[in-house]
Amino acid sequence: MYLFIVNQNSGNGGGDRVWKKIRDILQRRNIPYDYIYTRSAEEAHSYLKEQFALKSDWRAVGVVGGDGTIHSLLPAMRDSGIPLAVFPAGSGNDTARGFRIPRKTAAALDVMLEGMPRNADLISISGGSTLTALAVGFDAEVAHNVNNSRYKKICNALGMGRLAYIIGVFHTLLTFRPAPLSVECDGIEHTFPSAWLAAVNNVTTYGGGLAICPDAKTDDGLLDICIVHGCSRLKLMLLFPTLLFGKHTRFPFVTMLRGSNVTIHSSLPRLALGDGEHVASTPLTASADPGALRVMCPDSLAV
């Protein structure tokens, strides 16, 4: 039997619309399932733990929602051996993008029912885990501002979740200021006198499709880190369009690192968001957690 966690509030009601399509297909095909509607991360996590305690042979858990909904379920899903199936219905949907899950609901359901469960790493931090990315500094402030904005709801209603993050960049530029930052990667320290952001990624994109770490892989046991430093506001603004295609890595004010452990210190306290959710502040340490999660993927995906 398949279990579904449905976040009705994701994507301005997109979660509910996606679930109704899934339910209709399941019923037409006589596929047994159970489900719950959830309105909060805590509710979803508690329900999943309860279901795992009652029944351990779920074929997969389908999450209908955004990256934040998936993030809330990681403590229960981690090391359970039960695969995660992703149905994108949020603003950013970088989990779906990272595992090449189709946007069309019927195609995403085919991945759950007929795809391949594959091992995926997690980003482990104190007190929890993150699946897609850990944003520290400017990018975290962008996500924080977007999540608390009116324009996010408008963009979601128009089916343009990525646009909300682009607006958020200009919004955040007005108040954010860079600061000295040090990044220790596998025991080697790198210092940056004036840094804007540090992104620690397990997938290639964050922020609704910005290819911040274009070479990241979900199962290599390593973290990809991007630091943007030593540039003006104008250069930072010009950088963001190149993130859509992962071309920013050629700039001299962008440093790319890769390792299994990373520690980030900043002279100013910096907000850190994991999967778009507030998880910590600097200083912080993150490490790769190899193969901690199973994810249903298209057969063609060589993760």
Domain ranges across the chain: 2-120+293-297, 133-291
- We find that the CATH architecture of domain 133-291 is Sandwich (2.60)
Give CA–CA dist 68/5, Å, rounded. Answer: 13
CATH number (3.10.350.10, 3.40.50.720, 3.30.70.2860, 3.40.50.10330) of 2-120+293-297 reads 3.40.50.10330
Q: What is the pLDDT of residue 303?
A: 41
Q: What is the pLDDT of residue 53?
A: 82
Domains 2-120+293-297 and 133-291 equal at CATH topology level: no
- Look at strands 60-65 and 84-88 and give their pairing: parallel
Give CA–CA dist 81/264, Å, rounded. Answer: 31
Contact 192, 229 (CB under 8 A): yes
Average pLDDT for runs of 10 along the chain of length 303: 87 79 96 88 82 86 91 90 92 89 95 95 91 93 82 75 78 90 97 97 91 96 97 91 93 97 94 89 95 91 46
Q: How much is the pTM?
A: 0.89
Q: What is the pLDDT of residue 300?
A: 61
- How many other C-beta atoms are found inside a 10 Å radius of the C-beta of residue 283? 13
